[in-house]
Structure 1
């Protein structure tokens, strides 16, 4: 019998696992879990590893994430007290939110990656992986849901954004703040987000298509209708507090009668308003026409949440309720 934390580490590829793949010096995923662990000091934990995928993160899809969620649940059922997942940072804000909303329980799920690949000077992957291990092994991480650990900061999946294309400080939580930090090699918890009950992963997860479009200056919306006709739902990232050009209003109202249309803000920080502006194309006008308020959720997380709900067969009332419940900032 041992009191050591028992962690499961699942690798998906990404920059943290890149190696030289051509004469040009460009890198491709190639390192496995054993390769990544060679960069770390010995840890006082029990560790099980699995090379789950070997992909650049733009190639990950909802089918991969559903399989990952199932594997995580299996690892937890087998006794894992913490889960560490490595993947590419380009889509980690979306995959972490998917896991946060569809995997229940108190076992921490900690995702990490790297901004500098192993062939660059000062790669950040080893430090990020070590920090992720420390968080996953810490009892204070129980009940946090899925978190992203980068640069010694711990971000809740519901808040985290990749806000720079190359900086090692790319990850931020614009609507909140890091919920914890690594200080002197220990996890320090600063705040605890409210837990949500897990949502079902529906049988049509791989078949569902959710579109996302951004409002733009001078947009006439002519391209939107044929695009939207081939989706099961739509996220419109409006200006500011949730606004679009007035010429888009009739089309968005028509679409909202046929399928769920969620109104988010393209600023990705701050909420969609409800009752401040009343002109055609304002948030009040759009919500009165059946669009669903994304609240504090950025467009990308709103799209993930809508995908999960639609694929599970949720009706408009349920979708509206979940978005209302999910889009607020609450910590304990």
Structure 2
């Protein structure tokens, strides 16, 4: 860690900073320049990371050398992680050249509809089935999901078609229930910084899909993943799903740059979700292809066989035949960049 002092810092203030560092059992290396004085801190940064050094008189800035997200960083794990989702003979790998292709409706509506959609996306090449049983909605009067009945339907359909299932948890009280039925627990954008929920999910042994918050930086996403990792669950997959911006032409701003940025910072796989990023079916194919070409470890797309009857996010869903056409294109890109699904 490096502590940069103000140009106006007095010798007494500099000495006080050195005393505070040494009192924590660390070494202070003093470097005086023409205009600035810098104190290099040598030792375990964890001892000093939460100390309010920026509040000391004369201190201009405190700069950590190591990232705060230790477990998620490349420093801790130089090679890309490969996350396995599922169990037994039905396992999908994500990361390290393996692509996780997640598809399905926004919400589980009925067993018949779920079965039909699952059959279609599986035939197109999807290797993970998604569907929401618990739905965080902006309006309290909107469809909130079928709850445990939805989880049962999703589990039965996933088993029938040989696909691991992905579903969202919205409440710490439901973590155990969702973990019982699912293969991968989704932490949605609205809950990316619900730290109580992150901690509880981190105590499970299920793979986790961590979506970037609507106003979150890539570093914020890493810190949220760190909460899950710190509880002992190392099976985290990141997801870029767009952030809020000033342009209302799309639902969100699709940040393709977040993919290589996250991969530079972290060993965790990262996938893209152009459905929530754009909210417009006509834009989803191009954005999905761009995400994969940028190096994403998978693509998450909402698919519905009758969007006009969908109980949640119908306008942004692709029809099964549109998804099949897109998957044919994605397979060509995967071959070109040396990845498989």
User: TM-score scaled by structure 1?
Assistant: 0.26
Q: Please identify which structure carries the higher helix content.
A: 2
- Specify the structure having the higher radius of gyration (Cα): 2
User: TM-score scaled by structure 2?
Assistant: 0.26
